[in-house]
Structure formats: C-alpha cells, structure tokens
Amino acid sequence: MTLIRQTAQGAAEGFSTERADCWFGIPFAKPPVGELRFKRAREPEPWEGVRACTEMGPRPHDFLAGPMLETEIFTQAPSEDCLYLNVWAPKGTEPGAKKPVFVWIYGGANHTGEASNPLYDLSAFAEDDIVAVNFNYRLGPLGFYDFTKYGAEGFESNCALSDQIAALKWVRKNIEAFGGDPGNVTICGESAGGMSCYALLASPAARGLFRKAIPMSGIADNIDYPKVHELNNALYFEGLGIDPSKPEELEKLKTMTPEELRGGCLNVLLDTDVYPGIELTGMVSGDDLLPDKVWDALDKGNAADVKVLIGTCRDEATLFYPIKMVPYTPDMVRQMLEYSNHPERFGGFEKVYGDLTTDAALIQIGTDRLFWNDSVRCSDAQAKHNTVWRYRFDFVTPQAAQFGLFATHSADIGPALKNSCGAQLMMFDQGETPERLAKIREIVHGAFVNFVKNDDPAGTTGPGWKPYTREHRETMLIDVTADGEDACTLAEDPRGEVYDALWADLRFFEN
C-alpha cells in the first residue's frame, strides 16, 4: 500500500512501523523567521513533487534556565524554523476512513518542549484505531512574551497560540487524507499544554476546530493579565540590559540570536522571589485571540459545543516547591495575597493550612493555587454549557514516594499516552511492578481512548464515572492497589470547603 497522501500544500510520503503508519515533519505554517519573527503564524507554502515525511522537524529553541533545564532531554536540533507536525495512523488506514483524531500539545513551562520527545510518541492511539497528531510551537520570548505595548512596530501578541491554531486548521483541512475525521477532533495537553488547551477553549479564533478537550494540569491563570506581562517583561529586559521605552532598543530583539534572547529568561524564571504567585510568562489576555480570561470565556459559552475532561495530579507542587517555583515561605504567601489586593485572606490561609507542617502547607497551597483552583473554576464555568468530566491522579510509584514527589505534576503523562517517562526527574516507572504499571495505563489511557471515541471516559474504572456538575463536583480519584487492582473512587467535591472558603473569588494580579 502506498503511503503517499495529498495535502493542501502537496504530496507527503510516510513510512510504517510495527505499530502505526507515520508521516513526520510536515510543515503547517511558514517558517517564522526573518520578518516573521515575533509575528503570528502564516499559511504554509506549497511544495512541488512528493515530500519525504520520515523525520521529525527541528525543535523550537528553548528558553529555560536554572534547575528545570535539568529535567529536559532534547532529541532534535533547535531552529526558529520549527513549525512542523507529525501524524500517526492505524496501520492500513485509507484516506476518508473518518477515524477519530487525537491531538497532543506538549508542556514545558512555556519555555521548553518539543513534539519529538519520545514520551510523546502517539503510536498507542494508532493501535487503538485513532489518528493522532502532535506539533511544535514557539517558546519563550519568541512565542509567549507580549512586546506589543512598547511602541516598536513588527511585534504581534500570542504568537504561540497562533501556532497552535494554525496546526489545528491544518488538521481540519488535511486530516481526512490520513484517515481522520475532521469533525471529531480531541485536543489534549499537559502543564503548559494543558494551559494551551484552556486557551484554545477560550479563543474565538479556535471555535469549531475541535469538539473535545482534555486539559491535564493546566494553569488557566497562566493566560495572564497585561499587568503580569508588564511585571515579567521588566524582569526580562533588566536581564537583557534593554530599555523598552526606547523603540530603537526594543528593535534589537529582532536581530538577537536565540541564545542572546535567552539571557533575560533566568530573571523571569526566578520571579517567585520578586512577585510571589506569578508564574512564568504565558499567553496574554485582552487581544483578539484571547479577549477574556479562560473561566470568563467559558462562562460566556465560547466553548459551548465542546465536551471536556479535566485532570490534575494530587501532589502537583511537590515538583516545584524544592526548586522555588511556588511561594516557599509563609511571608511569600502573604505577599501573593497583598499583590492580589486580598491581604485580609492570610488569616484564613493560616487557619485552613495551619495543621500541616510548613513544607506540606506550602506544597498544598502551591498545588491549590496553580492547579486545583483553576481546574474547579473552569469546570464550574464549562458545566453550564456542556458535559464535563474530572479526574485526580493519585497513583504513586515507590520511587516517586522515595523522592518525596508522590503523585506529582506530570505523573499522569506516561499512563495517558501509554509510554514510559524519560526525563531525568520523572522516574515514575522505576521500581514499580508490571501489574501496577499495566493497570494504571489501562485505566488512564483507556479513559482517554473512550473519551476520544465515545465522548465519555467511563468504562476503565471500577465505580461509575459520572459527569461533573456544579452542585456536586464529581471527580474520579484514580489509583491502583499494591496488588495491581483498580482502586478508583468517585468523590463528591474533594477539597470543596477549601476552594469555596479561600479560592473561589480570588483574582491574582488583575490590575
């Protein structure tokens, strides 16, 4: 069988593995180089003849510095010419087969990541009769920082989001040639990828490009108010030695090398010391792509036609607390509330978290602030308009427990994609029994497959998984016993009293 498929830009020839038919390194936008640096994604150029699509494209330049860089394993050389995607299809799938489509969006704190990471191999979905896609998007100052407010021409906002929308438009236009159904697309991402899922749910420009979404551990509030960009940009420019009030100074960004642009990112990475509670620079709200904060957009019905499965991990912040990426002293929690115009809330925080040790309290506050709070707020908003399911990943491997990580941030990626984690700090598989690993993959990956195929994740967990309602906030707690048996339970409004008492109406750094 030929593996040549006709796309809108030209013919693409793929290859077969034991698990899937694959097409790698397909361009979905013009290279964002030269005059297109700091510009939103543009339509891809056509090509002549048959393009060999057998290798993944270059990864985007990363802009991570400090301790988080130690967790990364890069597989491709970096390039600003990075806007390429990859397709996995069930073996023997013909064009027009109309199989459901799963699109993966990687994470990396908005500053690192690549579609070619082996952890993000999507062969397991092809084996489950699903067409799967992942893609690159620009990072750091090239993709996320907003330089449009400083008077210099040639800068556009939310470039990374424009990349993601361009990739989904490519899917809508071309995926039928690879056997996929453009009317049955599920997007999914973890961490910054989960934040991207929230952004796509909130973006008017992304309406109609997908009908289901799975944000995993996404920080919806990392779609920042312009005020947060001003604060983070000041740190960035300080690190670069640039005065943004002078347009000629800002123009230097257009000709700096990626290595030079990286120079100011360490200041932003460490901004928890300067502005406790601010995350790494994310997308900006208030432009045409993202007019509103996510929960406001969802509340208004921007994604009313989308079914959503929202997931978090029980111990998210155990990964970030040791490297000081969340407030790591009680006084920093106080400052976070003061900066957000809620200094009176600190007494409530002392009361609610006061029975924990200081370390445990700060880890739980970090988890609640960045992940649990946002997920509940977005679930409440979206449940007004369409079906929502929620899960919390509680599964802990022996090595994760040994290092004090427990069910930490990103622990659910491997089970969801049915792959082994490869990053140096993500040693979740080591020391685990084959029975427990097989069961947790069966549960989580199976739930994702069911959602992609049937609009409903239920079927792989023991008790009945009910959709989330604003009244009961039903959440599936996913776990496995020591003997490898299903230990999932459906909980009603876990941590609801804490959320309602402390977090429900908090708005951070709004003005």
Contact 22, 15 (CB under 8 A): yes
pLDDT at 425: 46
Exactly one of 409, 410, 432, 474 is catalytic; which is it? 409
- Considering only the C-alpha atoms of the chain, give the largest distance between any 2 of them, rounded to a whole number of Å: 68
Q: What is the pLDDT of residues 333-344, one digit of tens each?
A: 999 999 888 899
Query: Does residue 460 surpass a pLDDT of 90?
Result: no
pLDDT at 495: 96
Average pLDDT of 442-449?
98
Average pLDDT of 315-337?
94
Q: Smallest Cα–Cα separation from 250: which of 149, 159, 158?
A: 149
The ranges assigned to domains in the chain are 4-503
In the chain, % helix, strand, coil (3-state, to 5) comes to 35, 15, 50
Query: Could you tell me where the DSSP H helices lie in 175-214?
Result: 192-202
Unique residue bearing structure tokens 């989330």: 468
Quote the CA–CA distance of 398 and 493 in Å, as a whole number.
28
* DSSP collapsed to 3 states, 249-296: HHHHHHCCCHHHHHHHHHHHHCCCCCCCCCCCCCCECCCCCCCCCHHH
Q: Smallest Cα–Cα separation from 83: which of 139, 153, 125?
A: 139
pLDDT at 424: 44
pLDDT at 274: 85
Unique residue bearing structure tokens 């300080």: 238
Chain-wide mean pLDDT for the chain?
94
pLDDT at 51: 98
Determine whether domain 4-503 maps to CATH 2.40.30.10: no
Average pLDDT of 23-39?
98
Q: What is the pLDDT of residues 60-109, one digit of tens each?
A: 999 986 555 555 567 899 999 999 999 999 999 999 999 999 999 999 99
Q: What is the pLDDT of residues 282-313, one digit of tens each?
A: 999 999 999 999 999 999 999 999 999 999 99
Contact 345, 293 (CB under 8 A): no
Exactly one of 116, 162, 191, 203 is catalytic; which is it? 191
Exactly one of 80, 316, 432, 474 is catalytic; which is it? 316
The reply to whether 409 belongs to the active site is yes
Contact 329, 321 (CB under 8 A): no
Answer left, alpha or beta for residue 36, where phi above 0 means left and psi between -120 and 50 means alpha: alpha
Query: Does residue 270 surpass a pLDDT of 80?
Result: no
pLDDT at 272: 67
Query: One-letter amino acid identity for 213?
Result: A
Which two tokens mark 8?
């809108």
The reply to whether 191 belongs to the active site is yes
pLDDT at 421: 61
pLDDT above 70: percentage of residues in the chain: 96
pLDDT at 275: 87
Structure confidence at residue 414 as a pLDDT band (50, 70, 90): very high
pLDDT at 68: 56
The reply to whether 385 belongs to the active site is no
Q: What is the pLDDT of residues 198-220, one digit of tens each?
A: 999 999 999 999 999 999 999 99
How far is Cα of residue 278 from the mean position of the Cα atoms in its chain? 17
Q: Smallest Cα–Cα separation from 477: which of 501, 444, 504?
A: 444
